[in-house]
């Protein structure tokens, strides 16, 4: 039997008991903490699971660590399938192939600052894309960014409704404008006749009709401009179409008979492109309306449709007032109006909107002009399908 000191012997069980008690307590605390953690995790995933918004978390390496049920539905991936993949599996950007850090959502890991956008395309498992608005917020633990929470909304339906609203407004304003233009025209005529007959009071009434008509026209134009500006930010609705058919249709549907009579179309037989028909129609109508507006009422306007290299081109030439060379690059800026426009009504938004549309298709728009001789506005659209990144307006 070992030779124990009596004091030590009696003290040992007490220390042991204390240590055991402390261990037990620590164990219990840990158990309680892990229990609490489990409950919190279950609570968080119940919240994430019941959200209508898609939620996806990224780990420190920018790889997907979780997607919720809504995201599974929207993306076509299951949580298990997509875990561990990098964000390029679900988010399409211009930098998709090159550099993971170039994704703004991944850059949140470095910056720690929430990123928000409403102009992105997410990728489904089957390779198709859909427009989304998303936010990417840092997950911070002990002052360290340990991941990113990406929350996104599918904008497909919103954009479809926007498109419908825009189409409706365009049709309605076109329908309203035709009789309104006639009304203004006839009341101007009447005004002249009444003035000639020195019927001053009646002339004042006619003048009031002309003014009201002009005011109504401005209201319609403003509503149209506002809706177009909003819609200009929605993603493109690409489809295979014939540019020649689209231009012919645009002229028939949108131009007033007197202007239609001035327009001459020189074109190849057909020119298939992949584009957003409504948007390209708007570009064509903008260029044609300008050509008519900034030239004498009977002077010719020529539209040419042709290919050059890998691009489809539309050019619109007029023999109108023209623009000084130093102003040409500015015509496509928001609200820019050339000096030669003088008192001709306008908002300076048409060419700006046209540039956004053409650039979203991967193309370019530019102008050539000589003051007092005329102008040519040219838009190019690549014959190949626009790259997905270019779709964002």
Which residues contribute to the site for ligand ADP (CB under 6 A)?
Answer: 286, 290-291, 294, 318, 320-323, 331, 336-338, 341, 346-352, 375
Nearest to 157 by CA among 165, 146, 147: 165
For the CB of residue 299, give the shortest distance to ligand ADP in the complex, in Å.
Answer: 11
Nearer of residues 153 and 318 to ligand ADP, judged by Cβ: 318
Rounded CA gap, 146 and 141, in Å? 7
Nearer of residues 71 and 379 to ligand ADP, judged by Cβ: 379
Token duo for residue 256:
């007033």
Token duo for residue 69:
């049920």
Nearer of residues 250 and 286 to ligand ADP, judged by Cβ: 286
Q: Given phi > 0 = left and psi -120 to 50 = alpha, else beta, which region is 190? A: alpha
Nearer of residues 63 and 282 to ligand ADP, judged by Cβ: 282
Q: Which residues are registered as beta bridge partners of 376?
A: 317, 368
For the CB of residue 295, give the shortest distance to ligand ADP in the complex, in Å.
Answer: 7
Nearer of residues 350 and 363 to ligand ADP, judged by Cβ: 350
User: For tokens 């500006």, what's the residue?
Assistant: 229
For the CB of residue 345, give the shortest distance to ligand ADP in the complex, in Å.
Answer: 7
Token duo for residue 220:
């319609």
Nearer of residues 336 and 366 to ligand ADP, judged by Cβ: 336
Nearer of residues 117 and 319 to ligand ADP, judged by Cβ: 319
Rounded CA gap, 316 and 327, in Å? 18
Minimal CB distance residue for ligand ADP: 346
For the CB of residue 332, give the shortest distance to ligand ADP in the complex, in Å.
Answer: 8
- Inter-residue contact 350 to 289 (CB < 8 Å): yes
Backbone angles phi, psi at 260, to 5 degrees: -55, -40
CB atoms closer than 10 angstroms to residue 367: 22
For the CB of residue 294, give the shortest distance to ligand ADP in the complex, in Å.
Answer: 3
Rounded CA gap, 248 and 102, in Å? 42
For the CB of residue 385, give the shortest distance to ligand ADP in the complex, in Å.
Answer: 28
Rounded CA gap, 393 and 354, in Å? 11
Going from the C-alpha of 307 to that of each of 144, 247, 366, the distances in angstroms are 55, 15, 16
- Inter-residue contact 149 to 45 (CB < 8 Å): no
For the CB of residue 226, give the shortest distance to ligand ADP in the complex, in Å.
Answer: 14
For the CB of residue 136, give the shortest distance to ligand ADP in the complex, in Å.
Answer: 35
Token duo for residue 28:
């219990």
Query: In terms of residues, how long is the chain?
Result: 393
Nearer of residues 260 and 337 to ligand ADP, judged by Cβ: 337
Nearer of residues 346 and 388 to ligand ADP, judged by Cβ: 346
For the CB of residue 233, give the shortest distance to ligand ADP in the complex, in Å.
Answer: 17
Q: Which residues are registered as beta bridge partners of 375?
A: 318, 369
For the CB of residue 364, give the shortest distance to ligand ADP in the complex, in Å.
Answer: 16
Nearest to 379 by CA among 300, 312, 321, 310: 312
Geometric angle at alpha carbon 71, from 92 and 51, rounded to 5°: 135
Token duo for residue 20:
């055991």
Nearer of residues 92 and 375 to ligand ADP, judged by Cβ: 375
């Amino acid at each position: 039997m070992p030779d124990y000191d009596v004091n030590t012997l009696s003290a040992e069980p007490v220390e042991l008991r204390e240590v055991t008690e402390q261990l037990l307590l620590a164990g219990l605390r840990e158990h309680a903490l892990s229990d609490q953690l489990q409950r919190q995790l279950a609570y968080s995933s119940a919240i994430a699971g019941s959200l209508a918004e898609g939620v996806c978390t990224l780990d420190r390496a920018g790889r997907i660590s979780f997607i919720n049920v809504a995201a599974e539905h929207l993306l076509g991936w299951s949580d298990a399938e997509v875990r561990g993949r990098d964000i390029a599996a679900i988010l399409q950007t211009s930098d998709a192939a090159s550099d993971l850090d170039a994704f703004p959502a991944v850059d949140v890991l470095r910056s720690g600052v929430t990123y928000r956008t409403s102009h992105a395309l997410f990728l489904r498992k089957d390779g198709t894309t859909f427009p989304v608005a998303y936010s990417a917020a840092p997950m911070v633990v002990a002052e360290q960014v340990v991941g990113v929470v990406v929350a996104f909304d599918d904008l497909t339906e919103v954009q479809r409704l926007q498109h419908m609203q825009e189409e409706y407004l365009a049709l309605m304003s076109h329908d309203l404008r035709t009789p309104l233009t006639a009304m203004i025209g006839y009341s101007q005529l009447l005004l002249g006749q009444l003035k000639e007959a020195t019927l001053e009071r009646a002339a004042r009434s006619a003048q009031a009709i002309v003014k009201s008509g002009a005011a109504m026209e401005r209201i319609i134009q403003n509503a149209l401009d506002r809706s177009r500006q909003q819609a200009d930010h929605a993603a493109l609705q690409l489809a295979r179409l014939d540019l020649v058919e689209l231009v012919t249709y645009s002229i028939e549907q949108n131009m007033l008979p007197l202007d239609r009579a001035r327009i001459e179309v020189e074109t190849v037989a057909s020119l298939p492109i992949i584009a957003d028909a409504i948007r390209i129609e708007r570009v064509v109508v903008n260029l044609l309306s300008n050509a008519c507006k900034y030239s004498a009422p009977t002077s010719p306007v020529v539209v040419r449709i042709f290919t050059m290299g890998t691009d489809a081109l539309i050019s619109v030439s007029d023999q109108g007032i023209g623009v000084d060379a130093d102003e040409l690059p500015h015509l496509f800026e928001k609200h820019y109006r050339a000096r030669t426009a003088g008192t001709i009504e306008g908002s300076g938004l048409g060419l700006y909107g046209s540039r956004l549309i053409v650039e979203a298709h991967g193309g370019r728009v530019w102008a050539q002009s000589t003051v007092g001789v005329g102008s040519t506005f040219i838009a190019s659209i690549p014959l190949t399908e626009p790259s997905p990144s270019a779709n964002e307006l």
